[in-house]
Every structure is written in structure tokens, then in C-alpha cells.
A = this chain, B = another copy of it.
Amino acid sequence: MLTIPLDTTSKLALYEQIYRYIKNEIIQETLPFQSKLPSTRGLAAHLSISRNTVDMAYAQLLSEGYIEAFPKKGYFVSRITALNIINHTEFIKNPPITVSSKTVLPYLYDFSPFSVDLSHFPYQTWHQLSKNCLQDNADLFLLGDSQGDLSLRQAITHYLHQSRGVNCEEDQLIVGAGVDYLLQMLAQLFGTTCHIAMENPTYQRANKIFKGFKIKTIPIPLDSNGLNIDALERTDCTIAYVTPSHQYPLGIVMPIQRRIELLRWANKCSHRYIIEDDHDSEFRYKGKPIPSLQSIASCDNVIYIGTFSRAIAPAIRVGYMVLPKPLLEEYKIKFSYFASTVSRIDQAILTEFINEGYFERHLNRMRKVYKTKHDLILSSLKSSNLPIAISGENAGMHLVVQLTNGMSEESIIKRAKNNQIKLYGLKEHFFTIPKNYDSTFLFGYANLSEADIQKGIHQFATTCF
């Protein structure tokens, strides 16, 4: 008979104490293979507990395979070999809380080109929309359409048409958890045999994603009008990844003639595609936004891709892409069984945010906020008396500043760090560094206050002398 020490004051149920005790005896082979267990009635009487409790413990041992039941004979320990390979520390205490490696450094002025200004975010509106969505729609907790909910796709399709001239039906639109995720989908659609032409310099995360899928990427040099089409023609690339409205990171606007040449390149073969990454097209401070390349394409070969990360907030993990119809067919075959990566509640909030006009008002407000900061950092840099050349202005959220005082990019970044300034070099955006490269920095200004922009640039100037 098993004498099992039971603790009636324990949080553990009695049946679980019995189950654990017998399981450990089997693991430690104190109860070897073929040992007969006491009958449930007998053990219950021995321990002065209800038979039901013992039944539950035995049932659990049975379902996990530690014991077997033979009708009219009783319960026996199963043959379990090599128990020594089991981890005996199943019940370790909780692991200590470690501090995340991403501790924020005490920079006073962080010129990140990826930051956004959230101080003007309409939290109250978002909160109110969130409340409405949660109250009205219990079915938002069910799984939705894998491409994104129809109402959101309609809202985005309408917005893209109005603001960017994008021509598409909502069926061509795929909503996903960020541009990186959508690029991963594209990579799978293209397969590993295609070669992708990329601007040099470019958004290197896209390059990393393509390479992660074993797709060869080929850097194409830029001239003052953007991607060099002659160089593109000399490659065997079938895909070109471009940022025509505001080249990332240099800020070049691809003029109409170059756009036509790029479209002609794509039109030459039926399997050529252009990926137009329209990452910060909403923010142009001089005139109106440059129309998208997709809007003027006569053949269905431009994949338009964008995000709400910059126009709303980075934490809103919603990107979108417009697929040409031939690719859409393939997408539907390969991906329609995938669950959407975006929470339906977020989709519903965003739909209302766009449809009720909040998004447009927010964009108009932010354009003013960013323009003020843009003008201020530009004038601060110009009045700094540094030997610099500025480019990429009038749009986006950063300027490109080339410094010609002979100091290396690395040494300036290091010196700036000592002055509590975080600088972002251009170098890492290149596949290969061009000859006669001068130290160049991306100056993001979106999340700095006006006072900090002035102080930060002043501090930067002293760093360079």
C-alpha cells in the first residue's frame, strides 16, 4: 500500500498531490514496470479520502501513459524506458526578470530618421473610436478576411485613390502587419530564382528580407533623377524595388521622364514588376504630394506598398499593398488560407478613423507640425557655418547632410555620442560605398521639439569643429 503524504492546507488539489507522488515514484523507478497499484477503493480507504479523488489521480496517470488498466486485474505501471532523459527540474522556480538588452541610452538629441511626433496624436479620438468598436461589434473577435476586412480595404482604396492617384479595386489590396511582413509575402510570391534590383543606397531592411528568402538583390546606382535605367537594363533583374516619390534615404524625387523609362523597362517583359514603396509620401511641404508611379502605369505591373506607421503611429502595425492582378491570382492560391496578421479591432478603429475624416485632419495637422520643424532644422543647419551640403528637403521626416570637413562618419558619430547626440550615418544604407564618399548623415527631426532642434544642431556644430 502507498502511503502518500497529503497536505490538506496546500493549494494543490488532493488528487493532484496523489498524481504527482505516484508519477515521481514511477519516474524514479521506485515503482518499477509491472508494479501493481493499489485499487482505487483500497487507496482511498488507506488515505481516508474519497474514492473519487483517487479515481481522478489514476485517470490522469492513465491519460499521460504512466499506468495501464487491465479489466478485472487493476492498474499497473507501464513500461517506460530511458526515463533518465527526462528533465527532472520540471518544477523550477520562476526565472529571474532580466533587463531587456534594448535599454535606451541617455541621448539628449536623437536625430532618428524613423521617429514620429506623437504629441499631436488624437488619443481621445482613437480612444473614443476604440470604445465604439468594442461596444458595437462582438463579432470583431471572430477571425476576419485574410486580406483584411472589406470595409478597411474600401477605406484604404478610396484614400489611396484620392491622395496618391492609386488605381485599384479593394480586392487587390492586402492589409498586413507592417511593410516588413508584406515584403516577406512578396518574396514568397516571387520565389528564389528572381533577381531584385535595388537603389544604392536603399532601405536595407528590405534587402535583408529578400536575402533571407535567398533572393539575389542587385544594387543599381542612382543619379540626380534616381535609379539609373541603363544600369538596370544591363542586369537580369525582373523586379525593381524603388522609392520614386521620395527616395529613401536620399530624398530624390524621380521626375516624370525617369518614371516613364522605368515603366518602359517593366513593360518590356511580362514577368517584370516594380515595387513602389511609398513610405512617407503623405509628408510633402512644398506643393502637393508627387503622384504615385502606380497611378500612371498603363500595364498592370506596379506593386504599390505603404504603411500607416509614419502617418499615424509606428505601433499601429498596419501596412498595405496593391497587387497587380496576375500576382493577385498567385497570392490567392498561396496565401488565402493564411489568417490575417492584423487584429480586427485595430482594423475597425482604423476604418472609422479614415472614414470619419479624422485621418485627413490628422495628416493636415501633422504636415504643418513637420513643416515647421523641417524649416527650423534647415535654417539651423544653414546658419551653423558648417561646410555642409543639404539635400532631400521639402518632404519626409529627415534631411541628408553631407559634411566636407574631412572627418570620417564614424569619428563624428562617436564624438557626437560623447556629446549626447545620436547621429545616423548614410554609409550603412549602401551596398558598396561610392568613391570619394564624404561623411553624410540623416537628420530626422520628427520627434524633437523646436527648442531641441536648435540646441541639437548647435551641439552638433560644436562636435564637428
Binding site for B on A (CB under 8 A): 16, 19, 56, 59-60, 63-66, 78-83, 85-87, 89-92, 94-95, 97-98, 100, 102, 114, 116, 118-119, 121, 123, 126-127, 130-131, 134-135, 138-145, 150, 154, 157-158, 161, 165, 167-171, 177-178, 180-181, 184, 188, 192, 205, 208, 212-214, 225, 253-261, 263-264, 267, 286-288, 290-291, 295-298, 309, 313-317, 334, 337-346, 394
Contacts and interface: CB of A to CB of B under 8 A. Distances in A.
A155 to B, nearest CB: 11
Contacts of A264: 82, 85
A213 B225 contact: no
B298 A87 contact: yes
Q: Is the interface of A mostly helix, strand, loop or mixed?
A: loop
Of listed A16, A168, A339, A344, residue having the most chain B CB within 10 A: A339
B85 A260 contact: yes
A239 B64 CA distance: 24
A325 to B, nearest CB: 13
A90 B121 contact: no
A317 B176 CA distance: 11
Nearest to A100: B150
A137 to B, nearest CB: 10
Contacts of A208: 337
**How many monomers of this chain does the complex have?**
2
Nearest to A332: B101
Give the 6 A-B CB pairs with smallest separation, nearest first. A65-B255, A177-B341, A141-B313, A143-B314, A60-B287, A315-B344
Contacts of A339: 178, 180, 309, 314, 317
A344 B188 CA distance: 27
B212 A158 contact: no
Given A64-B255, A66-B255, 6 more contacts: A79-B257, A92-B161, A119-B138, A143-B314, A188-B212, A212-B334
B98 A171 contact: yes
B134 A126 contact: yes
A127 B131 contact: yes
29 contacts: A59-B286, A63-B287, A64-B290, A64-B291, A65-B253, A65-B255, A65-B256, A65-B259, A78-B256, A80-B256, A82-B264, A85-B263, A85-B264, A92-B161, A95-B168, A95-B169, A98-B170, A119-B138, A121-B141, A123-B138, A127-B134, A130-B131, A141-B315, A142-B313, A177-B317, A184-B184, A205-B337, A316-B343, A317-B341
A295 B16 contact: no
Nearest to A150: B100
Contact of A118 (B56, B121, B142, B256): B142
A261 B192 CA distance: 37
B178 A341 contact: yes
A165 B23 CA distance: 15
A12 to B, nearest CB: 10
A362 B198 CA distance: 50
Contact of A56 (B157, B257, B287, B344): B287
Given A59-B286, A267-B85, A343-B315, A180 B338 contact: yes
Of listed A59, A63, A192, A261, residue having the most chain B CB within 10 A: A63
A135 B123 CA distance: 8
Nearest to A59: B287
A312 to B, nearest CB: 8
Contacts of A127: 131, 134-135
Of listed A79, A169, A343, residue having the most chain B CB within 10 A: A343
A345 B102 CA distance: 19
A269 B297 CA distance: 54
Contact of A346 (B121, B141, B257, B346): B346
B255 A142 contact: no
Contacts of A344: 315
A257 B65 contact: yes
A145 to B, nearest CB: 6
Contacts of A314: 141-143, 339
B181 A65 contact: no
Contacts of A214: 192
Nearest to A260: B82
Contact of A257 (B81, B95, B102, B334): B81
Contacts of A267: 85
A316 B143 CA distance: 9
